[in-house]
Amino acid sequence: METINGYVGHIIYRNESNGYTVLELVTDGEELTCVGMFRGVDEGESLEVQGSFTEHALYGRQFKAEAFRVTQMEDTVSVERYLGSGAVKGVGAVLASRIVKRFGTDTLRIMEQEPERLAEVRGISERIAREIGVQMEEKKDLRDAMLFLQKYGISGALATKVYDTYGMGLYGVLRENPYKLAEDINGVGFKRADEIAFRTGIHIDSEYRVRSGLFYTLQSAAGEGHSYLPEEKLLERAAKLLGVPEETLEGQLENLAMEQKVICRREAENKLVYASAFYHAEMNCARMLIDLNRALETEENASPAEEKQQLKRIRELEKQQNIELDELQRQAVMQSIRHGVLILSGGPGTGKTTTIRTMIRYFEQEGMDILLAAPTGRAAKRMSEATGYEARTIHRLLELNGGISDDNSGRSAKFEKNADNPLEADVVIVDEMSMVDLFLLQSLLKAILHGTRLILMGDMDQLPSVGPGQVLHDLIESRAFPTVVLKKIFRQAGESDIVVNAHRINEGKSISLDNKSRDFFFLERNDVNVIYKHIVQLVQDMLPHYVQASPMEIQVLTPMKKGSLGVEALNRILQRYLNPPAPDKKEYKIGQDDLFRVGDKVMQIKNNYQLEWEVVSKYNIAVDRGTGIFNGDMGIIREIDEFDSSMTVEFDENRRVTYPFAGLEELELAYAVTIHKSQGSEYPAVVIPVLSGPRLLFNRNLLYTAVTRAKNCVTILGSSRTLQEMIDNTGENCRYTSLDRRIAEMMEVLK
């Protein structure tokens, strides 16, 4: 690491949200471009900067800063230059000259420690003097805080968040309880707070540490889909994390319960521990669903004549659409008329879309307002195409405003549509319910008025949501709401081996691998390098012609993230062939091996409720704006601006987002994605490598989900033995959820 000294001649670019700055540092009479986190630094200031020289492809030699400090300006020329730069609001070049002429080399000390003396200078009133003093103090406080935080491994954007949260109170927080950072600041997890605590000398069995570790363990479990943990599991995991005996934890768990951060429930022989937000979410969802269903439940009061009339109208709709519903489909339509809540499930080719279309036509004839939604943009687009009715993402339906909930967890976004400003609809239909997590369901239900029909549609055999809960599964298990599971494969769908094999996989039956199919192929390949070669050939040359789609529309799906056939390895290979380097394609390198290139296919890998997007016309005029890009959203890199240190990605529905380079950790290449990440999407063709891997991942549920992502063609490469083992393996990760039990509990209370 090198150290250079100079003064800031010019600030070229600054991202105000995280402090990332490009500036010209004048050192030894020469201008040097410096890049790094320089929040609070102004033109004219003298700096000591630590970092290293890099060679930028476009802008040449740069100094990448890792740390810096503001140094004392040693001469009046430097001080006058700093003040005249506009760094201090209200002080221009003329006034700067007068101040320096009056106070000389003592100028900065006077401004920081005795600002009232500035009134001695012509043109500065006592009020202005005080205002300048406040500015100097604020700038000094911020810089001192950032330097202090650097000692604890916190720098740049995160240090800014800490300062913005606590102000000068941060010193007390770090000294007494650094674990508060994990509670209060998004981006500071328990492990980072634990490192800071270690440096400040906090003991391993400190009550702050134990409580924070317990709560962190509980929240981390949400990443595996759990809404609670059994007490013994929680204590076991937390003890391992903290390196303390389990008995040390029990008392602090009680303290967390007293603070209402967690809720403990006794069920049979088990004690269940919830983070409070999760427990209340399950209870809220249970209550709202029951209320919705009861508000419109007419089954007991419907007369035979009314039932006959409803059935007659359904058959008339069948004639109008030139279709014939089977008994279960008609039952589903009837149930949607009679109840406030209906759950409709079924695998591919079982007629879910036809059933929904009939419901829509029925409600249209009744003059009802209907809203359609799905968890992802791709799923919403498919729903629109299938029904001929506009569908939106749930987030857009609820009018996401970009804010985070009061608990600062990021689990629940702020929506404009809520209990105080509900959706204006008579019927709300939601597809791909297997993808909807507990908190998104809660937000949706809050926005639905009593008297609105809610129809929830999905495939209960798909993988559960990435977020906490298994909503569709628990709703069906509760047996509290009318549920229709479609099983019959219709003739047209039955002509597709994708549909037939998907159902055979789901039933645990072997599938034909003789390649006599038109849309389902298996290639026995047991060498990784050979699989690489065939994947490239399939995606680049063969499948685009076969399914009439571009290579970017063909999707490689793999069970794993790591390993030779994991997402990371496959993406590097596919990028090399599908989007090779070219003189006119800008690149941005991340770490040693990874880079983004203009034209790359990428995916957002975490929910970001604040990301702003816009849709622009061909004349580059914004025609639509909004916030929020979500886990699983796919796009293409359209621009890399090295001067602005940013990258522009175009997502589905032509939504363009500009990411600062500091925010690129939210993106990854998406030529290949995990099967989990493909939920809710449909592709013209999918390629699935299955050679070997952990039994926990290589299961029936995962294979079924992968196969059902394909619209026109499935190609599996690898081992037939592994494929059969996946079909035979019914093991899945057990999720600790209790929405079904909370519904049952609520219904008992309301009897």
Q: What is the pLDDT of residues 116-165, one digit of tens each?
A: 999 998 888 888 898 888 888 777 777 677 667 766 767 656 777 788 88
User: Angle, nearest 10°, between helix axes 207-221 and 190-200?
Assistant: 160
What confidence score (pLDDT) does residue 726 get?
94
- Count Cβ atoms below 10 Å from residue 674 Cβ, excluding itself: 18
What confidence score (pLDDT) does residue 157 get?
63
Q: Name the residue among 470, 417, 472 with its Cα closest to residue 445.
A: 417
What confidence score (pLDDT) does residue 412 get?
56
- Rounded CA gap, 177 and 171, in Å? 10
Token pair of 601 as six digits: 């296919």
Only one residue has tokens 């990301």, namely 611
CB 299 within 8 A of CB 338: yes
β-pair type (622-629, 608-616)? antiparallel
**What does residue 343 show for φ and ψ, rounded to 5 degrees?**
-110, 125
Q: Name the residue among 50, 118, 115, 103 with its Cα closest to residue 73.
A: 103
Task: Read off the amino acid at residue 536.
Answer: V
Per-residue CA distances from 115 to 102, 108, 134, 390, 471 (Å) = 13, 9, 9, 63, 61
| Helical (H) or strand (E) element with 168 | none
3-state SS assignment for residue 421: coil
Task: Give 539's DSSP letter.
Answer: I
pTM: 0.78
- Rounded CA gap, 561 and 566, in Å? 5
What confidence score (pLDDT) does residue 523 get?
95
What confidence score (pLDDT) does residue 556 get?
98
- Rounded CA gap, 719 and 723, in Å? 6
3-state SS assignment for residue 680: coil
Q: Name the residue among 144, 152, 158 with its Cα closest to residue 37.
A: 158
User: Angle, nearest 10°, between helix axes 739-750 and 471-478?
Assistant: 40
β-pair type (594-597, 555-558)? unpaired
Mean model confidence pLDDT for the chain: 88
What confidence score (pLDDT) does residue 406 get?
37
Only one residue has tokens 């006959």, namely 308
CB 541 within 8 A of CB 690: no
Task: Give 115's DSSP letter.
Answer: G
From the number of C-beta atoms within 10 Å of its C-beta (0-12, 13-18, 19+), residue 271 rates as middle
Q: Is 90 left (phi over 0), alpha (psi -120 to 50) or beta?
A: left
Per-residue CA distances from 676 to 441, 559, 632, 672 (Å) = 19, 8, 9, 12
| Helical (H) or strand (E) element with 286 | helix 276-296
CB 701 within 8 A of CB 728: no
For the chain, the residue count is 751
β-pair type (601-604, 608-616)? unpaired
- Rounded CA gap, 346 and 326, in Å? 14
**Model confidence pLDDT, tens digit, residues 510-567:** 998 988 899 999 999 999 999 999 999 999 999 999 999 999 999 999 999 999 999 9
Please, which residues have CB within 8 angstroms of residue 698's CB and are 6 or more apart in sequence? 559, 690, 692, 722, 725, 726, 729
What confidence score (pLDDT) does residue 350 get?
92
**What does residue 77 show for φ and ψ, rounded to 5 degrees?**
-65, -45
Task: Give 94's DSSP letter.
Answer: H
- What is the separation of C-alpha 432 from the centre of its chain, rounded to a whole number of angstroms? 17
Per-residue CA distances from 471 to 66, 164, 291, 391, 436 (Å) = 45, 37, 17, 21, 7
Only one residue has tokens 């419901």, namely 359
Question: What residues of the chain score a pLDDT lower than 50?
Answer: 299-300, 404-410
**Model confidence pLDDT, tens digit, residues 255-275:** 999 999 999 999 888 899 999
CB 89 within 8 A of CB 109: no
What confidence score (pLDDT) does residue 86 get?
67
β-pair type (520-524, 555-558)? unpaired
What confidence score (pLDDT) does residue 651 get?
93
What confidence score (pLDDT) does residue 317 get?
92
3-state SS assignment for residue 47: strand
- What is the separation of C-alpha 627 from the centre of its chain, rounded to a whole number of angstroms? 13
Per-residue CA distances from 6 to 43, 48, 59, 124, 193 (Å) = 11, 7, 20, 30, 34
- Rounded CA gap, 66 and 46, in Å? 17
Range 696-719 burial, b when 16+ CB lie within 10 A, else e: ebbbbbbbbbbbbbbbbbbbbbbb
- Rounded CA gap, 641 and 633, in Å? 22
